[in-house]
Amino acid sequence: MDQSHIRNFSIIAHIDHGKSTLADRILQITGAVSEREMREQVLDSMDLERERGITIKAQAVRVMYTADDGETYQLNLIDTPGHVDFSYEVSRSLAACEGALLVVDASQGIEAQTLANAYLAIEGDLELVPVLNKIDLPAADPDLHARALADLIGDDPDQVLRISAKTGEGVKDVLEAIVTRMPPPTGDPAAPLRALVFDSVYDQYRGVVAFVRVVDGEIRTGQQVRAMATASDFAAEEVGVMSPVMTPIGHLSAGESGYVVTGLKSLVDLRVGDTLTLAGSPAESPLPGYREAKPMVFCGLFPVDSDEYPDLRDALEKLSLNDASLVWEPETSQALGFGFRCGFLGLLHMDIIRERLEREYDLDLITTTPNVEYEVTTTGGELLEVRSPVDLPSPNHIEQIEEPYVRCTMLVPQDFVGAVMGLCQERRGSFVTMTPIENRQQVVYDMPLAEIVLDFYDQLKSRTRGYASLDYEMIGNRQSPLVKLDILLAGEPVDALSMIVHRDSAYARGKGLVERLKETIPRQMFEVPVQAAIGGKIIARETVKAKRKDVLAKCYGGDISRKRKLLERQKEGKKRMKHVGNVEVPQEAFLAVLQLDGQSQQ
Amino acid sequence: MPGDPAGVAHLYVHLPFCAARCGYCAFVVEVGREDARDAYLGAVRAEIQRADRLLGPLESVYLGGGTPTLMGSGRLRDLLDEIRPRCAPGAEVTVEANPETVDAALVAGLADAGATRVSLGAQSTRDHLLAALDRRCGPDQVRRAVDAVRADGRLRLSVDLMLGVPGQDGGDLAADLDWVLATRPEHVSWYELEFKEGSAIARGGAAPPDEDHAADLYEQAIAGLEGAGYRWYELANFALPGAECRHSLAYWRARDYVGVGVGAVSTVGARRWRNAPGLDRYIAALGAGGDPPRSVEQRDADVCRRERWMLGTRLDEPLDLAWAGPADHPEAIERLAARGLLERHAGTVRLTRRGRLLQNAVVQEILDFA
């Protein structure tokens, strides 16, 4: 199809603002999905996504639309992930588009995530079409939010579309706006092939499937193709489009989006952001913007039952097939045995992986405190990348430690600005700016990522009654006075409970932690001191009192089997405990470190 | 392990009739089925006769319930007449009784029929605790029942008491203790209230007391009774010298026993069987000349060994390792000894006082219950 009749667009929206409903409605109106086939959220295929109402994997769906001008247009809807952890994927998806629908809930208004992605789109020179969704809701305030939305993108409030994706009202206008307001692609059909990989998935039968936007040239089934960044060559086994299921069409030309079945066996060979070209007549340079997805958050994952170690390895291998940004390597803990240190793009990514491991692979896992990657310069001048507190050299060998910082953008109702600023101060944030947006304040702080990865988001939500929204971006490393906080049970350090903390908060953290551990660890047959220490110096102590009474009251002839079975069940329960020295530690204890001290919650 | 070659020496008879179900009860009891008592008595006698080939001279007999005394003196006498010829000289014959059913005539009838011991389910002398337990009798009835037993003078007296009842404080326990010491029964069973699944008290949402409070009460009871000359011979049982319950000791020493009646359990050698609950099918089966419906558990050598440990360590007497069999974790014995929870001496182990309070955890360390 000639490029003037092609539109590539995506939908930018905050979680729950109705992106998936709008996408489904577009499929329905254009006839890509029949009424009967219509299923809620066609585009979000994974259960977990459906459950959380978020999109993890981007995909491209082609629909044909006959506009009011009588012409038929090819519309490629490129779905984008909806979370800050996946902002690199978002940026690649946006790079595949010329325009984007900026969808905002007419009762909620703009959220931080919308803002962040809107800026990404503006930076990428995308034509933004502002859309207020859910105007059928009683709490909708379209006038207020239309003004704010128009301000945000420098548009006229009249240009803001008012729709209800749920009822279908105004969706036709959205399709018209896509055709009339968004520009067509402008690649060179005669140039050597350059296609942007904006997503890839692993299919166990077909290998890696790349979702691509052809910028220049053309790709055909059977051609020898090269991924430029990873330098992997493969044959394009099938070229097609999603409409909305995989439909082979043999070729994609400049301006079009679709998929390529590569036959590659691992996502490592084909990364999001890479450029496909023809192996026989390669393009001179790849498309700009590729970078390797770098894990930001790390934690140890250990099977509760050490016999499940091989199962955990298998499960991680399988998940990695479809998730190139998940990294992992074996880790051994004195307390927890054999497991893996895993790296994630962010907290949500970590939660999703952990949940999938537990749910889809039926594994019981202990997760250690998430931490970031520290850059440590030793006194010998060596530069170390430390991803686990265990690997931190002893204090006298450390010249300096740098930790990653992020710029946090929060949208906060006026009433909660004080609370949010207080929270950011507690978490070592430094104030950057504050700007009013609509009836709210956009508050920007620079903060250590380490302070975000624990419970910052939960705290932000709870201190603003759920009204604040958060986005953050990496701004590089900064030097900080950090120390390793060790936890000792019955005098023995427990490696899995160690953490790296700021020197000034070490005492409060240590105190809070030993208090929570005292509550979590059941009484044993002997007294168990719980201590927090820095470099061998004890800074806080609690004691789990010795158990005083543990008897089965009555045991006569009719009770013996029942009592024995009770003991068997108790033994089964004890198996779920981890033995640290002689101390039996329940799994929850390892989660105790995830909550911060009680002080910060007041 | 094979059964006792001389035959089983311990017989339990379950008499399930009750006037009402108490709040803490999850036993096999039958409320309001007094019309079935004659038929039940006949069935029990038939089951005893069917067990003839297993039984040797009986050294102990225990009529438990339910409320055995609700059977009425006549039927109890008939039952004891059935049993008495099977008893060895000097056998211990215990009848359980709820205080409100005990008067001079009943006591005389039991003693005449050969009972040697009565076990009185007092539970407490405190009004608010009896109310919490849904007991039908008040403190006065408990006192009158004791007086009746003492006035007759032929039966040894055991009383059951409870600790850990919701609302019970140290003062309540001291009051019960004072009463016990004044009454001076030969034997005292002082159980911690179990929040059994299915009992009204558990369903009602009452929570067990916290560990420290329960431990305080337990230690208070032990100290009080020991101070008055009682021997803390089993975790929940106390006796004046020589007045230990021989029937219960048979359980804790892992001896064979035969139980008859609905829900009763028998253990002979490796085999354990349990009569199904349900009065009607029990009566029908025995009436038809067969065994009552039963479930059978065949215990392997490891199960028997672990049970000997589990039961034997409840007693204050040393556990003979040659008899009990090896520990699954011999190193745990060292560790527990080092922690002062257990003592070793010439092929025996014995829990220390602190170890006894933690008996459950101690056997968990030593044995693999799996």
The structural domain count of chain B equals 2
pLDDT score recorded for residue A325: 82
Contact residues for B314 (Cβ-Cβ < 8 A; gap 6+):
A555, B234, B235, B252, B356, B359
Span A178-226, pLDDT tens digits = 999 999 999 999 999 999 999 888 887 888 889 999 999 999 999 999 9
Q: Does the pLDDT of residue A522 top 80, yes or no?
A: yes
B336 and B199 in one domain?
no
Q: How far is B75 from chain A (nearest CA, A)?
A: 24
- Residue from B162, B120, B180 nearest B145 by CA: B120
Q: For residue B125, give every residue at least 6 positions away whose Cβ sits within 8 Å of its Cβ, in sequence order, or none.
A: B139, B142, B143, B175, B176, B179
Model confidence pLDDT, tens digit, residues A413-424: 899 999 999 999
Residue B270 lies in a domain: no
User: For residue B321, what is the domain's CATH number?
Assistant: 1.10.10.920
Strand partners, A99: A9, A127
Structural domain includes residue B195? yes
Say whether B364 and A571 touch across the interface (CB within 8 A).
yes
Interface of A with B (CB under 8 A): 523, 525-526, 547-558, 560-561, 563-564, 567-568, 570-572, 574, 582
Residues B118, B110: contact at Cβ < 8 Å?
A: yes
Report the C-alpha gap between B205 and A449 in whole angstroms: 45
Q: What is the pLDDT of residue A48?
A: 46
Residue B28 falls inside a structural domain: yes
**Which range, of A295-309, B146-160, B173-187, averages the lowest pLDDT?**
A295-309
- Tell whether the model's pLDDT for residue A493 goes beyond 80: yes
Over residues B165-189, the mean pLDDT reads 95
Instruction: With respect to residue B291, please indicate whether it lies within any of the assigned structural domains.
Output: no
pLDDT digit string, tens, across residues B187-214: 999 999 887 777 777 777 777 888 999 9
Contact A561 B257 (CB under 8 A): no
In words, the CATH class of domain A3-181 is alpha beta
Give the pLDDT confidence score for residue A39 in this predicted structure: 54
Give start and end residues of each alpha helix (H) in B51-93: 73-83
Q: In chain A, where are the structural domains located?
A: 3-181, 194-278, 297-367, 395-480, 485-494+506-601
Residues B12 and B146 in one domain: yes
A524-545 in b/e form (b: 16+ CB < 10 A) is bbbebebbbbbeeeebbebebe
B214-231 pLDDT per residue, tens? 999 999 999 999 999 999
CB A260, CB A236: distance < 8 Å: yes
Name every chain A residue with its beta carbon within 8 A of the beta carbon of B259. 557-558
Judge if B25 and B98 occupy the same domain.
yes
Q: How far apart are CA A531 and CA A543, in angstroms?
A: 8
A541-579 residue pLDDT tens: 999 999 999 998 889 999 999 999 999 988 888 877 888
Beta strands in A164-310 (DSSP E): 194-203, 207-216, 218-220, 224-227, 232-235, 238-242, 246-248, 251-253, 257-261, 275-278, 297-303
Band (B82; pLDDT cuts 50, 70, 90)? very high
In a domain, B355, yes or no: yes
CB distance A571–B370 less than 8 Å?
yes
- Mean of pLDDT values over B280-306: 96
Thinking of the domain A485-494+506-601, which architecture would CATH place it in?
2-Layer Sandwich (3.30)
User: Which residues in B lie closer than 8 A to residue A571 (C-beta atoms)?
Assistant: 364, 368-370
What's the per-residue H, E or C state across A279-348?
Answer: CCCCCCCCCCCCCCCCCCEEEEEEECCHHHHHHHHHHHHHHHHCCCCCEEEEEEECCCEEEEEEEECCHH
In chain B, where do the E strands start and end? Answer: 8-15, 17-18, 30-31, 55-65, 87-97, 117-123, 156-163, 187-192, 231-234, 237-239, 258-260, 265-268, 271-275, 294-298, 319-320, 342-345, 348-351
Say which of B263, B265, B368 has its CB closest to residue A571. B368
Give which of A527, A545, A548, A549 to mutate to test B binding, by max B Cβ within 10 Å. Answer: A549
Chain B residue nearest residue A557, CA to CA = B251
Kindly state whether residues B206 and B312 are assigned to the same domain: no
For residue B2, pLDDT over 70 is answered with no
Nearest one of B147, B158, B66 to B107, comparing CA atoms: B147
The reply to whether residue B251 touches residue A523, judged by beta carbons under 8 angstroms, is no
What is the extent of the structural domain holding B338? Answer: 301-366
Domain endpoint, select from B234, B252, B270? B252
Q: What is the pLDDT of residue B134?
A: 81
Give the mean pLDDT of A334-351: 88
Arithmetic mean of pLDDT, A407-411: 91
B233 with B357, same domain: the answer is no
For B267, the closest of A553, A557, A574 (CB atoms) is A557
Query: Which fold does the domain A297-367 belong to in CATH?
Result: Alpha-Beta Plaits (3.30.70)
pLDDT at A55: 39
Do residues B296 and B271 touch, judged by C-beta distance below 8 A? yes
Which whole-number Å values give the CA distances from B202 to A447, B118, B193, B210, in the listed order?
Answer: 51, 29, 11, 15
In a domain, B248, yes or no: yes
Quick check: A571 and B361 CB within 8 A?
Answer: no
Assess whether B191 and B315 both reside in one domain. Answer: no
Q: Is the pLDDT of residue A320 over 90?
A: no
Cβ contact A215:A254 at 8 Å? yes
Q: Are residues B27 and B171 in the same domain?
A: yes
In three-state secondary structure terms, A383 is: strand
Q: Distance between CA A11 and CA A23 in Å, rounded?
A: 8
Task: Calculate mean pLDDT across residues A266-276.
Answer: 87
Q: How confident is the model at residue A484 (pLDDT cuts 50, 70, 90)?
A: very high
Between CA B360 and CA B310 the distance in angstroms is 8
Q: What is the mean pLDDT of residues B157-178?
A: 94
Whether residue A557 and residue B357 make contact (CB cut-off 8 A), yes or no, is: no
Does the pLDDT value for residue A294 go beyond 60?
yes
Q: Tell me the average pLDDT of chain B.
A: 92
In this chain, the answer to whether the domains covering A395-480 and A485-494+506-601 adopt an identical fold is: yes
CATH number of the domain at A194-278, out of 1.20.1250.20, 3.90.550.10, 3.90.420.10, 2.40.30.10? 2.40.30.10
CA distance A537 to A382: 26
- Neighboring chain B residues of A568 at a CB cutoff of 8 Å: 369-370
Which two structure tokens, joined as six digits, stand for A369?
Answer: 């405190």
Fold entry, domain A395-480: Alpha-Beta Plaits (3.30.70)
- What residues of chain B lie within 8 A of the CB of A523, using their CB? 211
In a domain, B283, yes or no: no
Residue B99 counted as domain residue: yes
Which among B165, B211, B368 is the top mutation candidate for probing chain A, defined by the most A β-carbons within 10 Å of its own β-carbon?
A: B211
Say which of A523, A554, A558 has its CB closest to residue B211. A523
ipTM, two decimals: 0.92
- Residue A408 or A46, more confident: A408
Set of chain B residues whose Cβ sits within 8 Å of the Cβ of A526? 339
CB contact under 8 A, A550 and B236: no
CB contact under 8 A, B191 and A558: no
Q: What is the pLDDT of residue A511?
A: 93
Contacts of B192 in chain A (CB under 8 A): 551, 553
Query: Where is the domain boundary, B226, B252, B278?
Result: B252
Q: Which of B284, B317, B233, B258 is nearest to B55 (CA)?
A: B258
Q: How confident is the model at residue A112 (pLDDT cuts 50, 70, 90)?
A: confident
Mean of pLDDT over chain A: 87
**Smallest Cβ distance to A567: which of B263, B310, B357?**
B310
* B236 contact residues in A (CB cutoff 8 A): 551, 553-554
The Cα B173–Cα B38 span in angstroms is 40
Q: Is A587 or A362 the better-scoring residue by pLDDT?
A: A362
* CA distance to partner chain B, nearest, from residue A508 (Å): 29
